[in-house]
Structure 1
Amino acid sequence: MRRAGMAGAGAGMVSIAGCGGQNDDGTTTQGTTGSSDGSGGSGVADDSFANYVTANPTNWQFNHFNFTQPFSHPMQTDMLQRWVISTNEFSDYAVSIDEFDGQNERAVLSVRDGLTWHNGDPGDPVTGEDLMAWFVCHAAVNSTVAGLYNANDIEVTGDRQIELPLDGSVNESIFRQSLNNFWLNVPYHRYGEYVERFMDATSDEERNSVRTDLRSASFDEPFGNGPFKFVSRSSNRLRMELYEHHPDADQINFDYWDVIRASTDTASVVLGMAPEGDIDMVRNFTPPQSVLSQAKQNDGILTNQIPALWGQALPFNCGHEDFGNIRVRQAIAELIDRDLVSRNYGEFGVPVQAPSGLVGNINGQNEQTDRWTRWVTDEGEEQLHRYQNPERGRRLLREEGYTKQGGKWMRPDGTQLSMPIKVPSGYTDWHPIYQTISSLLTDEGIDSEVKMIDSTSYYPNHYLEGNYVTAATGWTLGRDNPWYTFGQWFRPLADKVYKMNFKPTEVEVPPVGEPDGELQSVDVLQLFQNVRNASEENLQEAITEFAWVANQFIPMLPILEINDTAWMTSDDWNWEPAKDDAAWQAKWPQWWFPRMGLMNGKSN
């Protein structure tokens, strides 16, 4: 999703990807930065690095499991690990995997030595109890990662260590990927109440109650363990200062990190960043070509492209009287020209070739690629349906009792088939995607309109409540193993699948290789088990089986896959690695480089 967001937010993270209108950390401010005389207080040209947001910081609360305006900054808390996408290399960071035995169903993990909370000078050590709380709370909210372990049997085995019992055998690469894009941001002293209640729960009703309370809790006071510590906030700025007790604080030569509220017109923000702007960074913005061309002429602006490992999708409300029908969803998929939609999105996106949750449709040069086929067998790749046949779509509608009269598709009850699409208003670079879809369907005779929803309420009040007919979101979680996409689409939450309103036991698809064949029930939970438990040698076969189900059931239709563009100023800041260095390919360089000593303020 747009924000590891919601994958991120949905997974208890700050975000996974960001687009025009808002940044992933949920922040905002506008005003002066640096020392009062305009020069860096520590001998650098600018003593405050500032990232961009559009929301009012005074409206934020600090429980990131609550999707109502949460705030948890990536420089205020530490990520569990670092993953370089281009090389598939993992580095331990806030947490290390000391032992992993997938077949014997156990893993041992430790918190980084010297990591402390921002509640003193120095604060309390981050402990094994805090790490236990992280895993328990993610189980409480039913994050995809929680499907890999038994939360109730976690043991704190040392001051900084836990033993994590796996829920059956687990593929090691899946486990490693499960820790990506997460921060160590669940202090026991803040979340202990929910941890203990969940551990003591003896029924689904009690566990659901914990989930509800954790999702709705609002924390007034910030917390963290990262290199920058919260100082203050106003309606236009949240300020953090360097936390000298962080293990990597000596890599950083500036004193403040500001989160600045600025215009919702992200294009004007990025073009104004240098040489005199207050903003130094927009984590991710996909610009129109005109903006990109202007930015390239500004020597003080630096851009870099990173594989998004996601793209935009059209989720269906599978409880809807029309779109709860698999054949109607398939018909809509046939009628949408993904190639046209991608062209209208811009140069940073390409169409998904075979909608099935397989990432790898785009390369770093914004060109179509078939890297997605590495996840499935050759036969499985050929069998996946491409959804490029509008005539099949029309036939499917007729077979389900819909008729076309006077250029309009009519439902069996005589009313026109209608498909409104809810879209977050602030995600401006998404808008051409869904406007194109709406236009295509309107031309076909289906009543379709884009309904803009305020961005702050879109996910908590609409998408995550299943309050839509069709909607806008991302189609995977910013990880490339399909197990995570399948998790976003099919993993059950209580008695229904998260977001799309169908039960796992209701999934029916035609036989493999026969898109028009008779529907048959499939065991989704067993498919999850097969992928999770597979050895590396058998993983492709297990994914092939699940990919067919995703391809046919399509609870959401993947439209395109994108590259992300990071924006930084370089007039006052040094960014050391060459642009082709693999260091740029870990999300996100703006968060990692200061910690690694690869970004610092230039001398005054």
Structure 2
Amino acid sequence: MKRLAAVVASLGLATVTACAGGAGDRAAGGGGTYTTIDALKPGIDANAPINPYNPKGNAFQGYNSQWLAWTKNHLTDPNQFYPGVAESWEIAPDQSSITIRLHPNGRWSDGKPITSEDVKLSIALAYTQGGTAYAVDPRVSGTAADVEVVDDRTIRVTQSGKNPSSTFVRGVMETFVVPAHIWKGVLPADFWDKLKTARGDGPQAEAARTEVTGLAEKVISFAPAKDVSAGPFVLERVNPGEALLVKNKNFHNAAKVAPDQVKILGYTGNERIWNYLIAGKLDNAPFTAVPTDVLKRIDQTPGNTVVRGYTPVGNALAFNQSKKPYDNAHVRRGLAYLINREQVTKVASPEGGAAAVTTSGLHQKAAKAWLGDSFAALEPYGLDPAKAERELKAAGMRKQGGKWAMPDGSPWKLTISVPAPFSDWLAGAKAVTSQLNDAGIDAEVVTTADYPLYLEELAAGKYDVGFWLVALGPVPYNIYQRLYGAANGWQLFGGRLKHVAPGTEGNWMGGAETVKVEGAGKVNPGELAFNLNSASRAEQQKIIATLAKVANQDLPVIQMWDYVNTQFVNTTRFTGFPQNDSDALRLTSGVWLQLGMIKKK
């Protein structure tokens, strides 16, 4: 899949000097130079600030930009992490609080100690951006209610008891930590007083919330004069083609950080990454969609090796159920029986995908972990034209002259919409329409110019059928929000769940508010999905078992393939890379370097 740069407003200019690469590079010492790309930043903007809150900013996660801790993306437990700025942490059994201890010898690249005040200031900045644990509105679930500095290296963050959430801990740990002595002037001196007022009710609270969130652009556009890093590297310079970072000698684990410097190369699409790999320029390339013929060329380069692992993401064909005939579950099931998912995956994502075993809303590995033996009881929807015909006829569809038509005899034209830059989605959609045409369904693919426009038109209900990312784990609540959240009509208002009409407020999937499920009766899947947010582990398992049945029987989507985290490493210069199925593969190689995993050859 092509990677896309975030579209943002024109922001403040960086003070990093842009210059031509090559001749001026600082000579690497005994550790050498580690070269990679940043999957989060396709195009490097030499004029962007050194700012982790800026989508184009020259802050590279795991290198010079640090979270409190790095998420492992465990199959079922979202609260497992590798150390970042935090050395250790203690999570209350009910997730009501987390106590974080910083590395006792943690220092910024300018030599100043990293303290709890840095973390508190960083949390204040995060509140201006909203979301996760730092939503300003107290009615939002999973928000922090109190931030307490216990001592210079210990800080405790307490969750609001009004609407607790299982996503709270992860939201806290994924906080960017910046130096207070550089950033403190960005926020007003009375920020915490304003925040306290914002958590209340009435006009004053509403005004305070507006003031806090109104600081967002100021935070995003802030441009420090130089990089003061908590990570293993410090940005030395940047030009449109690459960023050069040098080793931070004050990093707490500097002795185990192998290279002396890191080059992060820019790219405009997968083709550029393929060329880098074929030329042997990269020590690591994160997830990259690669066709089989290109993979063979990459394999021929000395040292190049493919590493594969779990990624909690799946691809699905999603239906706008407010449009006929997709409002009928029999039609959706009939289509599922006509699609050969193995063949589609082979065409669309042969190296970066595994055909979905069935539709459950979950990645198949997570499904097996959560559902156990009951996973095998789900209907697999294997290729079966006879079952497809029975389902379509049950919906009243007619077959006339070898072509399927609507119940009233009018033509049925099935259109799949995809964003043109997503090469795997486009190939997959073409494979699906080819199979459906062979089965007597008039089907075509229509492309949209780019992904932001695709999402905009999808939310507006302009498409009948489109591709949609699902199974976004590891948090169960997040996984099922993709099927039974805002896109399917369930909206949260003042802490209460409400189902809105199809075609309104982003409800483009248009599913029914309640669904009859064999063995479970009448179910409101949106309520169940919402309850995952505050349920215990045992309760989550029961809810997931029901939601998997709902998704499997009602088919709001047909899961096509689970993504495989296909990465490339080159072992001619460095060793110690994560092996197949390592949970570290979901993190940047900057995290591998700071943990001391990578060794100089």
Aligned-pair CA distance for 1:548? 1.3
Tell me which residue corresponds to 1:387.
381
Tell me which residue corresponds to 1:437.
432
1:112 equivalent to 2:102? Answer yes
What secondary structure sits across from 1:472 in the alignment?
strand
Tell me which residue corresponds to 1:501.
508
Within 5 A, what are the aligned runs for 1:357-506? 357-361=361-365, 372-376=367-371, 378=373, 380-381=374-375, 383-388=377-382, 389-411=384-406, 415-455=410-450, 457-458=452-453, 461-463=456-458, 468-479=463-474, 482-492=476-486, 493-494=491-492, 501=508, 506=512
Aligned-pair CA distance for 1:414? 5.8
Within 5 A, what are the aligned runs for 1:6-405? 36=24, 40-46=27-33, 54-55=42-43, 57=45, 73-74=60-61, 75-79=63-67, 80-83=69-72, 90-95=81-86, 98-103=89-94, 106-110=96-100, 112-113=102-103, 126-131=118-123, 134=126, 137=129, 139=131, 149-151=141-143, 153-158=145-150, 161-165=155-159, 182=174, 184=176, 196=195, 199=199, 219-221=220-222, 225-230=230-235, 232-252=237-257, 253-261=259-267, 264-266=270-272, 268-274=274-280, 277=281, 279-344=282-347, 345-346=349-350, 348-361=352-365, 372-376=367-371, 378=373, 380-381=374-375, 383-388=377-382, 389-405=384-400
1:313–1:593 distance in 2 versus 1, CA, 3 Å: same
8 A contact 2:232–2:248 mirrored in 1: yes
Aligned-pair CA distance for 1:51? 5.1
8 A contact 1:422–1:471 mirrored in 2: yes
1:309–1:590 distance in 2 versus 1, CA, 3 Å: same
Bigger CA drift: 279-288 or 236-245? 236-245
Name the amino acid aligned to 2:566: T
What secondary structure sits across from 2:426 in the alignment?
helix
Distance 1:465 1:112 in 2: 46
8 A contact 1:420–1:449 mirrored in 2: yes
Distance 2:428 2:75 in 1: 28
Aligned-pair CA distance for 1:288? 2.8
Tell me which residue corresponds to 2:9.
none
Aligned-pair CA distance for 1:283? 0.8
What secondary structure sits across from 2:91 in the alignment?
strand
Tell me which residue corresponds to 2:548.
547
* Deviations, residues 341-397 of structure 1 (Å, cap 9, x unaligned): 223332553322231123335xxxxxxxxx73342264x435422223444444444
Aligned-pair CA distance for 1:294? 3.0
What secondary structure sits across from 1:487 in the alignment?
helix
Aligned-pair CA distance for 1:595? 0.6
Name the amino acid aligned to 2:260: F
Distance 2:256 2:559 in 1: 41
Name the amino acid aligned to 1:443: D
What secondary structure sits across from 1:419 in the alignment?
strand
1:304–1:217 distance in 2 versus 1, CA, 3 Å: farther
1:443–1:264 distance in 2 versus 1, CA, 3 Å: same
What secondary structure sits across from 2:413 in the alignment?
coil
1:509–1:142 distance in 2 versus 1, CA, 3 Å: farther
Name the amino acid aligned to 1:501: W
Distance 1:485 1:441 in 2: 29
Bigger CA drift: 147-156 or 253-262? 147-156
Name the amino acid aligned to 1:163: V
8 A contact 1:383–1:513 mirrored in 2: no
Name the amino acid aligned to 1:522: N
1:511–1:432 distance in 2 versus 1, CA, 3 Å: same
Distance 1:539 1:97 in 2: 27
Distance 2:588 2:400 in 1: 55
Aligned-pair CA distance for 1:266? 4.8
What secondary structure sits across from 1:127 in the alignment?
helix
8 A contact 1:47–1:255 mirrored in 2: yes
What secondary structure sits across from 2:590 in the alignment?
helix
Name the amino acid aligned to 1:355: T
Name the amino acid aligned to 1:335: L
What secondary structure sits across from 1:426 in the alignment?
coil
8 A contact 2:128–2:214 mirrored in 1: no
Name the amino acid aligned to 2:97: A
TM-score (norm 2): 0.72
Q: How many residues align?
A: 550
Distance 1:215 1:491 in 2: 26
Distance 1:468 1:215 in 2: 33
What secondary structure sits across from 1:303 in the alignment?
strand
What secondary structure sits across from 2:72 in the alignment?
strand
Distance 2:422 2:22 in 1: 30
8 A contact 1:63–1:71 mirrored in 2: yes
8 A contact 2:291–2:350 mirrored in 1: yes
8 A contact 2:159–2:168 mirrored in 1: no
Distance 1:59 1:251 in 2: 32
Name the amino acid aligned to 1:545: T
1:215–1:263 distance in 2 versus 1, CA, 3 Å: same
8 A contact 1:531–1:543 mirrored in 2: no
8 A contact 1:306–1:564 mirrored in 2: yes
What secondary structure sits across from 2:482 in the alignment?
helix
Distance 2:415 2:478 in 1: 28
* Deviations, residues 180-232 of structure 1 (Å, cap 9, x unaligned): 8x452699866888994964676999999899989999934567753344455
Tell me which residue corresponds to 1:364.
none
Unaligned segments of structure 1, at least 5 residues: 10-29, 362-370
Aligned-pair CA distance for 1:575? 1.9
1:549–1:593 distance in 2 versus 1, CA, 3 Å: same
8 A contact 2:472–2:479 mirrored in 1: yes
Unaligned segments of structure 2, at least 5 residues: 7-17, 493-497
Tell me which residue corresponds to 2:598.
599
Distance 2:106 2:324 in 1: 52
Distance 1:438 1:270 in 2: 34
Bigger CA drift: 385-394 or 298-307? 385-394
Distance 2:316 2:444 in 1: 16
8 A contact 1:254–1:601 mirrored in 2: no
What secondary structure sits across from 1:435 in the alignment?
helix
**Structure 1 vs Structure 2: percent identity of aligned residues?**
18
Distance 1:76 1:155 in 2: 25
What secondary structure sits across from 1:376 in the alignment?
helix
8 A contact 1:153–1:165 mirrored in 2: yes
1:45–1:58 distance in 2 versus 1, CA, 3 Å: closer
8 A contact 2:361–2:548 mirrored in 1: yes
Distance 1:560 1:85 in 2: 20
Distance 1:476 1:348 in 2: 16
What secondary structure sits across from 1:474 in the alignment?
strand
1:533 equivalent to 2:535? Answer yes
Which of the two has higher C-alpha Rg?
2
Distance 1:218 1:437 in 2: 45
1:583–1:566 distance in 2 versus 1, CA, 3 Å: same
